[in-house]
């Protein structure tokens, strides 16, 4: 396989609350992403703020961090060919209203905040985000 990459996936509190972990994982497998690591955790607000610090200048930063810390999440390392961009395509637009058919956010997202899933936006950020949750 050429160009095997890893990326970080988060199933956010709204999707965990609706019991969507297994359904979303099965979609990853259908898309030939392998799940290399998996854990269910509940971040506190400080940890959420550290994870999302690239967004600290945004007006929605505080509510974004409160939301991520509002309930359990599932975090995974996904691996596969060009998985960073393929997973972003599978997630769809940030706002579920704009997401295309058959994308995760179209299928499961409720709002721009409760958009069910997160994925790293570049190979470089994937490394940082994987390291945040899965330090050796
Ligand atoms: P995510 O891919 O996890 O990255 C940052 C999150 O900020 C994004 O998904 C959205 O859920 C959330 N968010 C809230 N408001 C906005 C906004 N106005 N623009 C972009 N992202 C937003």
Domain that holds residue 73: 4-81+117-133
19 domain-assigned? yes
Number of domains comprising the chain:
1
**What was the pLDDT predicted at 1?**
63
Is there a contact between 92 and 100 (Cβ–Cβ < 8 Å)? yes
Q: Of all residues in the chain, what percent carry a pLDDT higher than 70?
A: 99
The reply to whether 126 falls in a domain is yes
Q: Atom of ligand 1 at shortest distance to CA of 91?
A: 2
Question: For the chain, what is the mean pLDDT?
Answer: 97
* pLDDT band, very low/low/confident/very high, at 135 (cuts 50, 70, 90): confident
Distance CA 65, CA 95 (A): 17
Residues facing residue 129 across a β-bridge: none
Q: Identify whether 97 is part of a domain.
A: no
In a domain, 45, yes or no: yes
Residue 111 pLDDT > 80, yes or no? yes
What is the tens place of the pLDDT at every residue in 39-87? 999 999 999 999 999 999 999 999 999 999 999 999 999 999 999 999 9
Other beta carbons within 10 Å of 78: 27
Read off the pTM.
Answer: 0.97
**65: which residues sit within 8 A by CB, 6+ positions away?**
45, 48, 49, 52
pLDDT above 80: residue 136: no
102 occurs within a structural domain = no
Atom 18 of ligand 1, nearest CA residue = 60
Backbone angles phi, psi at 58, to 5 degrees: -80, 150
pLDDT at residue 13 is higher than 80: yes
Please tell me the residue having the least CA distance from ligand 1 atom 10: 113
| CATH code of residue 12 | 3.30.70.141
- Which residue among 83, 84, 118, 129 is the active-site one? 118
Task: Report the pLDDT value the prediction gives residue 75, as an integer from 0 to 100.
Answer: 98
Cα(28)–Cα(42) distance, rounded to whole angstroms? 22
């Amino acid at each position: 396989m050429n160009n095997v990459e890893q990326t970080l996936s988060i199933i956010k509190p709204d999707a965990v609350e609706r019991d969507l972990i297994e359904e979303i994982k099965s979609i990853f497998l259908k898309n030939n992403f392998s799940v290399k690591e998996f854990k269910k955790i509940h971040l506190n607000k400080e940890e959420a703020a550290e994870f999302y610090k690239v967004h600290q200048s945004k007006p929605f930063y505080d509510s974004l961090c409160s939301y991520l810390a509002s309930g359990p999440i599932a975090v995974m390392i996904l691996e596969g060919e060009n998985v960073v961009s393929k997973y972003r395509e599978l997630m769809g637009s940030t706002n579920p209203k704009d997401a295309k058919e058959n994308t995760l956010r179209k299928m499961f997202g409720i709002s721009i905040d409760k958009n069910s899933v997160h994925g790293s936006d570049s190979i470089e950020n994937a490394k940082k985000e994987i390291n945040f949750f899965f330090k050796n």
